[in-house]
Chains A and B, each alone.
Chain A
Amino acid sequence: MKNLFLILGLVFSISTVNAQIAATNTGGEVQTVQPKIMVIPYTKEGEDIRTVLEDDVNKRIAITKIKEAFDSRGFTTVDFVARLKASQSNSVFSAANKTDIKAQFIQMSGADVYVETEVSVLNSSNGNSVKIIVTAYEISTGNSLANKVGESGKFYTDDIGKLASKAFGTVADDFLDVMQNKFTEIVNNGKSLIIEFGFAEDSQYNMFSEVGRQGLLLSDELELWMEQNAYKNNYHIQGTSDNLMIFDDVRIPLKDQSTGNNYNPNKFALEIFKFLKTLGMEGKRDIKSNTIFITIK
């Protein structure tokens, strides 16, 4: 009898190991993970992204107006200033070069999309006007999602903030609509990833090593696998050399097609990892935003 209880207890404990904890269980309801969008100021060469906003109230107004537009569609953006301060306190920036700081900040922000905003003030004797250029980029691929130029028109006023607000108001809805069209394209055709295959220094393999049961080249095996597993067979190879193979656009679905759960680059990297094992190879995977780095040992 004691043994029976012991077995039952063991079975029960095993069956509950992978069950979702009660506090987070929603009964299978899945909320799609939304892209993180951050609005940042445009910086010229030599300008420091860390101080450019503090020096110019008009840029702050323009950025706030753009954030308001996203809010009006029920979408919350990542706060640039808060994220910048957090990055500074965490000593994220290592390079002394100011341009690198911008690139580092965008990479480390955790955002999927950033919207760059340029405000240009034109003063003249027959009135002042403001031009605003807004461009949205997908961080992982650098693809442009939407671009618009808004103009306030000429007014006899020194309230540049008001003019900036008016300039963005003329293009705000168009800008968001174009972005939304691109998001719809992502929902339908998958999210874009960059996948880089490289080798550890002491690796016995290179891209032209014959691997697997069929004796195909490693680069061919990788392409065949990608062809089979990229969402809707949508992938593109940037190039292949002895030691490197780069897929600059591999599409993965936003949702796991079998479970309906959210799907992410980490899960796709795991599948690549499993595939390498079937070829008898060991690998190391690093994931930075939407880029997967696979290092074959």
Chain B
Amino acid sequence: MLALMKTEVWKLKRYHMIWAGVLLMLLSVLLTVFSTTALDGTVWTFPFFVEQVMKNNITTIFPMCIALITGYSISREETDDTLKSILTVPVPFPVLLSGKLTVCGLLSLFLGIVSTVSTVAASFLLGFPGGDLPAIIRAAAQITLNCLFLYIAVLPVIAIAARIPNGHLIGAVVAFVYGYGGMFAAGNVTLANFYPVTASMGLVGYRSYDEAVHWDPLVCASSLSAALLVSVVFVVTTKKSASTKTNKKPKKVITKKGW
């Protein structure tokens, strides 16, 4: 497994999808920066800015971003026609998938760090107060762990999409809707604890200081554990042979009639 994970890391070299991920994380910060320009009387501080970045990560950017990157790294084995060489090593497809998903878990931590660095940098550039060292450490832990927990929340979508040839785009769209659903789930205390996307917020103590926010860490952890378990079941039961390579249908030639 270690060798497999090592090769999965090597495959990421000169991989443009990683840069797409980095840019999307920067976009999340940029979107928050834009919202600071609204003259709605909000008092912007470093902790509040961090919370807004996390909100954008959760509901808009990260689920779609990680589902796209992970899904693409799975489907490229078919599009690059490398699956046949891996299966004849032999590495069974569920084992290959497990290796990829583990490495993408590490990648989600990396993207969390990117998000933290850009958030701290943007906050300093905008001159928000409250950006002392303890606050920065807390923000780093919250943003980075939140990315990992969000990844676990989205894992079932990725695992199901892996069964569909070139299913990474479908996976990304579903993950976006699933992440956006977090915005509605957050409105209900019970649902927020159960819904895996919002449960990730509960585990990192998002707005725990607010008396109106009630997280149940046990329920949140159970929700994400269930998501992880469902993913494991989907991964273990995935069967794929090299012959599933999709063939494009030839384009129908339309001949002009008449003048």
Mutual binders A and B: no
A residues near B (Cβ < 8 Å) are: none
B residues within 8 Å of A by Cβ?
A: none
